[in-house]
Amino acid sequence: MPSPFPGMDPYLEERSRWPGVHQRLITYMAEMLQPHIRPKYVASIGERIQLAGMQHTYVPDVFLAHRLHEPAPTLAVAGMVEADEPQTAFDEERHVPYLEIIYRETGEVVTVIELLSPANKVGDGREQYLQKQTELLHTEVNLVEIDLLGYGQPTVLARNAIITEPADWRYLINISRAGRRNELEFYAVPLRERLPRCRIPLRLPDPDAVLDLPAVFTRCYDAGGYDLLIDYSQPPSTPLRETEAAWLNNLLQEKRGGAEIA
């Protein structure tokens, strides 16, 4: 059963659900691109390890907290009281996938495709991402950034652009081409519209590949069984503008034959 939304489904933006959505989207992006860029290029999934800092407050899954089952050894001194058992928090490694387009003949990375996560849009995670972004801009690698999260601080390069059309955009996708850093191509997408079919730059003079995001999203939604996991009778936990919430409520009422969301 397809998503009731014409484009991105805001219920999938939920922080606890996003890691699985992220993994699937990256996998199916590679799957969709590969037939169109072979044999000259290969779509390869990379993975960086990110330590979640203790000051991050946005995810409950970034560190594991538990009570020690055995008391920690303490210095035995006559007359001293025994220490109580503390709780322990571990900084957990988070594996963040991204996509690389590789020129097969030389192994050179031609294009990096980043799909943003909540960690990229707040706190130290955002600072780490912006540092990586800056490093890539000083290389000959094309950079494509896809932000399908309507919350958190602006992070993709298009955050620096003044976007007035459409006025109600929620999602941003931008393309920074090697050798043309002063030009930025972007798609600004409202909640009510379908996702774009994006240009993916390759090595000149090769023409751009096309990433069919609507097809990728549909495959992700169907394979993930999200129609079985999401309760569309309840409002999404992700924050919405007033106009977005009204549009969402009207859409879902129509889908359900007039029943209003709780």
pLDDT for 1 equals 81
Asked whether residue 78 is domain-assigned, the answer is no
Asked whether residue 180 is domain-assigned, the answer is yes
Asked whether residue 50 is domain-assigned, the answer is yes
Chain-wide mean pLDDT for the chain? 85
Report the C-alpha gap between 117 and 13 in whole angstroms. 9
Average pLDDT of the segment spanning 139-147: 97
Q: What is the pLDDT of residues 207-257, one digit of tens each?
A: 999 999 999 999 999 999 999 999 999 999 999 999 999 999 999 999 887
Task: For tokens 């594991």, name the residue.
Answer: 64
Asked whether residue 79 is domain-assigned, the answer is no
pLDDT for 160 equals 85
| pLDDT greater than 50 at residue 68 | no
The answer to whether 202 touches 41, Cβ cutoff 8 Å, is yes
Task: Write phi, then psi, for 129 (nearest 5 degrees).
Answer: -65, -45
Asked whether residue 153 is domain-assigned, the answer is yes
Asked whether residue 71 is domain-assigned, the answer is no
Confidence of residue 51 (pLDDT cuts 50, 70, 90): low
pLDDT for 73 equals 46
Average pLDDT of the segment spanning 63-81: 44
Structure tokens at 59: 């995810």
Q: What is the pLDDT of residues 110-139, one digit of tens each?
A: 999 999 999 999 999 999 999 999 999 999
Asked whether residue 196 is domain-assigned, the answer is yes
The total number of structural domains in the chain stands at 1
Residue 173 pairs in a beta bridge with 146, 187
Asked whether residue 167 is domain-assigned, the answer is yes
Q: What is the pLDDT of residues 177-208, one digit of tens each?
A: 999 999 999 999 999 999 999 999 999 999 99
Tell me the residue range of the domain where 168 lies.
10-61+90-255
